[in-house]
Every structure is written in structure tokens, then in C-alpha cells.
Chains A and B, each alone.
Chain A
Amino acid sequence: MTSSAENDGGLLLEMRGLRIEGQADEEWQEIVKGVDVVLNRGEVLGLIGESGAGKSTIGLAAMAFARPGCRISGGSIVFDGMDLMAMSERERRKLRGVRISYVAQSAAASFNPAHKLIDQFAEGPVEHGVRNRAEAEADAKDLYKRLLLPDPDNIGYRYPHQVSGGQLQRAMTAMAMACRPDLIIFDEPTTALDVTTQIEVLATIRNIVEQFNTAAIYITHDLAVVAQMADRIMVLRYGELVEENDTANMMSAPQEDYTKTLWAVRTFKKQSEIYDTSTTPLVAVDHVTAAYGPLTVLHDISFDIYEGQTVAVVGESGSGKSTAARVITGLLPPKQGQVLVKGEALPGDYRRRSKEQLRHAQMIYQMADTAINPKQRIREIIGRPLQFYLGLSGRDLEEKIKELLEMIELEPNQFIDRFPGELSGGQKQRICIARAMAAEPEFIICDEVTSALDQIVAEGILRLLDRLQRELGLSYMFITHDLATVRAIADEVIVMLQGKIVEHGPKDEMFTPPHHEYTDLLLSSVPEMDPNWLDELMERRAQEGVMQSTSSS
């Protein structure tokens, strides 16, 4: 494997033949199987891989730390000439937080709820004797300012639950910086954030790492993000290294098949069509206002979905896009307005809809894990709608189930008697699709159906949905926050913000400027594979002054 990491500064961290075991069901199993990690001063290394690749475990091992139920079983960890494995726990503690520090995925859970932010900031430098309390406080305010936190002089005196997620993540980065470490481990620091918030956190993290010339290990599953952050990338799978190269080479010329499949993801694009809007729409959402108790979450929205059409509804968390789906399915009866199918108004509450009305609209969920009953066999999961709606039984039922399995590209005899626990994430999602198809619907709501899946698997799901649409003439409502998915599958796009539709139109129109200010922000915030994308974007935004308008997030 080539390594172009022979740049300035010299060697900082060297882990050789790293082996880590985890305890499962009273037995130790290897979860990291002999990985080498080498890092120079001031260098940013990206670790990328799917869940279960062992990337967080490797990141923590750089601090010679293993989570409870894990142990470092082999290999060497040398940091700045010191052999961490040979050190006592006491000596390691003196390094942690001082020379190597850590930024966790969930800032909200990783701050102690009982203490103010600045107390938790000062704790490290004061306890380690790096600074006294007053110096630490002054430093905190300086770092908060550099990280573009609002009101940097006072924000530290708040408790964690009084601060938003994006701000908390930056406060944690400041905390990691408190002793000016040589190395920071970033463990998926933006995964829990919305795209428009993520972008600011990414930019400030990168900025501060550069300012202090800190080396970093940046762990993520998002390729486009790692491309912005890292100098060098390691691709991991099942606890082993797949490929390693500097970012530019890695992005332009991946060598291994697995890496190529990761890279090849965003090729699928459906031909979007323009629909005749003079006919009666299949589904019409007509001036709907909906609320959870006193909190109104949808304000007078209207849109139509035509036969065979795919309408993508995009927006961030809290935009009301999932609520719109709940209104259409009847889980949340609207306060005002109505939902019409082929011009006929549906009862607001699903319990008052007829079997036939229910059959017409099916739903596919984000988390296939929780969308199918783990205690039922595939036969029962797919068979139930066939029994329930179509009254099939016996041989007819069996044949139809197999037909559906064939349709979703799973070998019928191999899968029909399995439990969901014996399937992969992508296969589970295919089962969900089959269950929806079993009802022979005309309209399917897809709620973030690909966002929990690894990208290559997601691609397969999108292709399958597209094929089924063409074969069966289905209409889709695609709820997503991922614009790449929108690009791939939508005919029409609806952009939502705070319960309102801010923009609505054919896909090609939406992706060509000029568009609504928020659409612009949303579109431009989606990370792209180009390693220079973040720089260029920040430059452009700095000129336009977009940053200020959202830095309260």
C-alpha cells in the first residue's frame, strides 16, 4: 500500500499490527485484525468504513483506550516515541486530554449534564496542571470565538442542555483543544447533525486544526466528508485495511474493488419526466394544516402527485416532511384541509378508512430493522398483506410470496423461511419493499428508505424501486434529506422549511439556479466528493455573508 505521508513534522503516531478483541456472548472475538496506522505531525488521517468496520475502536486505540468489553490484544502503539502499551495506566492518563484528545459523536451525551460547559473545558488543563483556572477560562473564550460560537464570552456558563447540537459539537472541539494536543481523534463528529449545521462544524473544525497544526484522525462513514477533512484516507472493512492512499489519489483512482464500489455509488440517475398536470392527480394534499397538540408543524401546505410520478420532499429535521407523510397515511389527522385520492377525499383518521383505501397507499420506512417484526419469518411478513387484502391462502399464497421475493431479487427458497435477524440491512429493506408491493398499491411513501444503508446497498435499493415503478406504474413520495438521492430518483422536488413549502418544481429546474435562498443553502451544504469543495464553498459564502444567518443553529 502506498503511503504519501512522508511530509513535514516527522512521525507522531505509529500503530503496528493492531489487534483488538470484543466480548460477545462470553467469547472474545477479534474486531480489529492487525491494522497498521501511521500518522505524522500536523497530518489529518481519514478512517472510513461501514458500521462494524472497527474504525472507532481503532481511533480509541490511538489513546491506548479500549471500551468496556473490548481489549487490545496485540500490536504496538507508539506515540511520539513513547510505547503506550508498555506504559502504566497512570502514565497514559497523563497523555490523554493533554497530548491526545477526543471528540465524540454525540456531544449531547458526552458532556456531563451536571456541569457548565466552561467547567468541563477547564477541568482538563487545570487537573493536568497545564493552566490555572483563570487562564483556562480566558482560553476557552478565545477558542469559542475561533470556533464561531455565538456570544463566546458567555456561552461557556451555560449547561449542556441549554445549547444546540451544532454548538455543543463545537464546544467539544474547543474542549479537545484545551491543552493544545498533538493529536485529536474526531469520531463521527457531524453524523448526528443536519446538513446545513454539519457544514459549519466541518469548516470550523478544519480551520482550528490548521491554525494549531494539530494532527487528527477523522472517523466517518461519509466519503464526501472525509474528502474535505483528510490528507490521507484509510478504507476499513471488517476490522481490516482495504486500501490506503492520500486523498487526491484515493478519490481519483481507487484500486480495490470494495473501494471502487463505494466510490461508484452516485452514478444512478433516473430520467425525469414532465407530467401532464391537467388530469386528476393520484394523490392531492389540499391546504393541510397539522399540529401535535398546540404545536403546529404543517402550515397550509398543498401539493399533487400524479400517476407514475416520483415526488421528493426534502428538508432538515423539523421541516415537517415526515409529518406530511403521517397526514397522508392518516396517522395524524389534519386540523384543516384534506387529502384526496383520485379526487375523492379520504377520512383524516386511518381508522376510518376502508381496507381498500388503506391498501392503495403503502409505506416503506427508514429503519428496516424496526419496520419488520423480528419474530416473524419472511413468509409471514410478506404473506400477511396477501392474506389480509387479497384473501390468498395455501398454494396461491406460497406462489405469490415467491414471486414477490423474485421481484426484489432474493432467491425465494433460500429466504422464505428466514427470520429478519438472518438478513443484512439491504435485504431487510428489500423485504419491506416486497411487503409494500404485496398490497398491490398505486402509491408508496418512502421515508428516508436509503439513509440507514451503506451507500452501495442504497444504490441497489434505488435501482429496484425505479424498476418497479416502471414495471408497475407506481407513484412515489420520497422523503429524504439527502440531495444525492433526490438527484437520482425524483421527477419533482418539494423543499420544506419549518412546516412550509419554500420551493416546488420539476427536478431539473430545482437543481439549476436561481432558487430560493434556503434551497440554495441546502443544496450547497451537501458535501461533494471533490476535495476542494469545502474551501470553495466557504470562500463563496464568506463573500456572500451566508454564514452569519445560520450560525445560531
Chain B
Amino acid sequence: MTDKYESTVGQTADAVAPPPPHERRLSDAWKALKKAPLSAKIGIIVILIYVFIALFAPLLTPYGESEVVGAEFEPWGEGYLLGTDNLGRDMLTRLFYGARNTIGIAFVTTVLAFLIGGISGVLAATLGGWMDQLFSRIVDVLMAIPALIFALLLLTIFGTSIPVLVLVIAVLDSTRVYRLARAVSLNVVVMDFVEAARLRGEGMGWITLKEVLPNIMPPLVAEFGLRFCFVFLTIAALSFLGLGLQPPTADWGSMVRDNATLITYGDITPLIPAAAIALLTVAVNFVVDWFLHKTSGLRDDQ
């Protein structure tokens, strides 16, 4: 009775249920992409265009970033496709360089926010105890003040340089990341496979990196998109208020501010950078929306 076919009945009952094994790799991602709704496809294309422009801005533009090339407020036309700004710099050139600066800084800030918030959130959930208490209470307090207001206070004190800007917004934004990372990790930490790893005697490194992290990636990836939008909008708002990126750096928020007078004459040129901001956030949001829908839908069969 000890042969391996003893429980063939159980085997047949088992064997029918699972789907055949398959490799989910790039081809599957491509398939999913093809099935994505129109809004998500548009979103992805728009994001790719922005990234392209940001990466190759110097090659795509006729002038230098802060080069004065003509008179102030030249209209659209040959030489200056989108006219010139309040100091006589080419709008299109600055728009392309603005992509680089605004997106780049927002991206760096978001990454930093994720490093700070993500790591501390996962650690707080896995370690629990006083560490969790300490982090969570600090975050509670930081979140009790509206982020923009807090940012204004800190910028007053430390001045408005790019490193200060990045650091202040990253820290303030990491509180949101912390909350999410902690919450989703808590759901994973109570799972039996984490308990099994603890009882095996595994250290913190293994548990957080190998057991918890892979299971919280989908919500974190989606959150990255949302946080990026938020950071991007915050930096744009601060620049618009004159408290973000400082001249002569090309930046979409300050471009709107600098040229706002044109609007009262019915000229929409200053709104182009604003629209550029809006279009990118819309695109990211469309993609995130689809991603969230997809990952939450897939949760059932996992």
C-alpha cells in the first residue's frame, strides 16, 4: 500500500481543476495591452511622447533653454512656432526643456517619497511594536497639516532651491506612501506564509524582500502613478506661485505665471504649458485607472 499511486482517486479529482501551466511573460503583457481600453492606450502613447521629448529636448529644440532670441511676446509664426515669452525666449524651446525639468524633478521626488514611505511602511508592518507606533504617530501628525501649507512653511524657512523643494515635497508625500505601504503590507504580514517564514527563523531582510514585497507591488505601482500626478501638480502649483523652480530654469508652472498677462488679451499661449501639465496627468491617471481595474479584477483567481 505504500506505492505512490495509493491515492490516485485524489489525484484525478485534483488534476482537473487547475489551468495548464503557462509562462506569463512579455507576450502576455502585450496581449493585456492590446485588450486595454482606448483611454489606457492613449495614456500610454502620450506618456511615451513626453518621455521622448524630455530625454531628447536639446536635440528637438531650435534654441537654448534660456537663450533670448527675439522681442518680448512675439506672436506665433516662423522662427518661433509658439511665439516668444515675456523676456523674448522661444516658447517651444522652453516648453520642451520644461518637460525635462518639471517631469524630471517630479519623478525624482516621487521616487524619493517612495523610498522613504515605502521602506518605512513595510518595515512598520513587518516589525510592528514600538517601531510601528513611532512611525505611524509621526505620520499622523505630518498628515494633520495640509501638505501644501506645510510645504510653504518649510520653503519659507529653507528657501526655494531645487534640493529643498525635492526633499520637502518628498518627505511630505512619503506620508501617503507610508500609509498605503503599511496597510497593504499588514494584509500580507498576517498571511500564514509569512508566519511560516518567521517560524523557520528567517531574518527581517528575507521576510520583507522575499515574502512581503513581491505581494504588494501591484497596489504600490498604481500608487506610484497617482503620487507622481500629485507631486507633479504640487510642484507645478508651487512654481506657478513663484515658489518652485526658480528662473531661468524652464518650467511649466512658472511659464504660465510669467506670461499670464497675455491671457487677459485673449491669447492662449500661456495656457499651453498648463495644458501640457494637464495632458500628462490625465494620461497617467488613465493608465493607472486601467491598471487598478485589472489588478483588482485578477485578485479573484490568484
Contacts and interface: CB of A to CB of B under 8 A. Distances in A.
The answer on direct contact between A and B (beta carbons under 8 Å) is yes
Interface of A: 24-26, 261, 264, 329-331, 350, 353, 355, 358, 363, 365, 367, 370-376, 384-385, 388-389, 406, 409, 414, 417-418, 421-427, 435, 439, 454, 456-457, 459-461, 463-464, 467, 470-471
A184 to B, nearest CB: 29
A interface secondary structure, majority: helix
B13 A388 contact: no
Interface stretch (B2-10, B75-83, B279-287): B2-10
A89 to B, nearest CB: 27
A454 B13 contact: yes
A329 B193 contact: no
11 contacts: A25-B294, A261-B13, A350-B199, A350-B201, A371-B196, A373-B210, A373-B215, A414-B21, A422-B18, A423-B18, A424-B18
Interface string B283-302: 00000000000100110111
Interface string B7-25: 1011101110111011000
B201 A355 contact: yes
A130 B246 CA distance: 75
B34 interface: no
B interface secondary structure, majority: helix
Q: Which of B2, B14, B18 has the most CB of A within 10 A?
A: B14
Given A25-B298, A456-B10, 4 more contacts: A355-B201, A372-B193, A374-B302, A422-B22
B137 interface: no
A119 B202 CA distance: 54
Contacts of A358: 199-201
B11 A375 contact: no
A329 B194 CA distance: 14
Instruction: For chain B, give the interface size range.
Output: 35 or more
Contacts of A375: 214-215
B117 to A, nearest CB: 22
A385 B200 CA distance: 7
Contacts of B2: 467, 470-471
B214 A373 contact: yes
Contacts of A417: 21
A460 B201 contact: no
Contact of B302 (A406, A414, A421): A421
A49 B302 CA distance: 22
B199 A460 contact: no
B192 interface: yes
Contacts of B214: 373, 375-376
Given A459-B9, A463-B10, A370 B201 contact: no
A139 to B, nearest CB: 41
B192 A367 contact: yes
B193 A459 contact: no
Contacts of B211: 373
A338 to B, nearest CB: 18
Given A331-B199, A372-B193, A435-B196, A424 B11 contact: no
Interface string B195-239: 110111110000000110011000000000000000000000000
Q: Which of A24, A330, A373, A461 has the most CB of B within 10 A?
A: A373
Interface of B: 2, 4, 6-7, 9-11, 13-15, 17-19, 21-22, 35, 191-193, 195-196, 198-202, 210-211, 214-215, 294, 297-298, 300-302
B10 A459 contact: yes
Contacts of B201: 350, 353, 355, 358, 388
B6 A467 contact: yes
Nearest to A384: B200
Nearest to A385: B200
Nearest to A424: B17
B199 A363 contact: yes
Contacts of B195: 331
Nearest to B297: A25
A461 B4 CA distance: 13
Contacts of B196: 363, 365, 371, 435
B215 A422 contact: no
A329 B199 contact: yes
Contacts of B15: 424
A464 B5 CA distance: 11
Nearest to A358: B201
B1 to A, nearest CB: 8
A24 B300 contact: yes
Nearest to A464: B7
A551 B202 CA distance: 47
A306 to B, nearest CB: 22
A426 B4 contact: no
A390 B9 CA distance: 34
B17 A460 contact: no
B17 A461 contact: no
B53 to A, nearest CB: 33
Contacts of A367: 192
The 10 closest A-B pairs by CB, nearest first: A460-B10, A375-B214, A424-B17, A460-B7, A371-B192, A365-B192, A426-B14, A373-B193, A370-B191, A358-B201
Contact of B7 (A329, A421, A425, A463): A463
A417 B193 CA distance: 19
A363 B297 CA distance: 32
A423 B14 CA distance: 9
Contacts of B210: 373, 376
A53 to B, nearest CB: 12
Contacts of A460: 7, 9-11, 13-14
A182 B32 CA distance: 48
A424 B14 CA distance: 6
Given A375-B214, A388-B202, A471-B2, A422 B14 contact: no
A384 B11 CA distance: 26
Contact of B193 (A355, A370, A454): A370
Contact of B14 (A350, A374, A406, A427): A427
Given A388-B201, A424-B18, A371 B9 contact: no
Nearest to A429: B14
A376 B202 CA distance: 16
Given A371-B192, A409-B7, A422-B19, A456 B13 contact: yes
A261 B7 CA distance: 12
Nearest to A463: B7
Contacts of A414: 21
A393 to B, nearest CB: 16
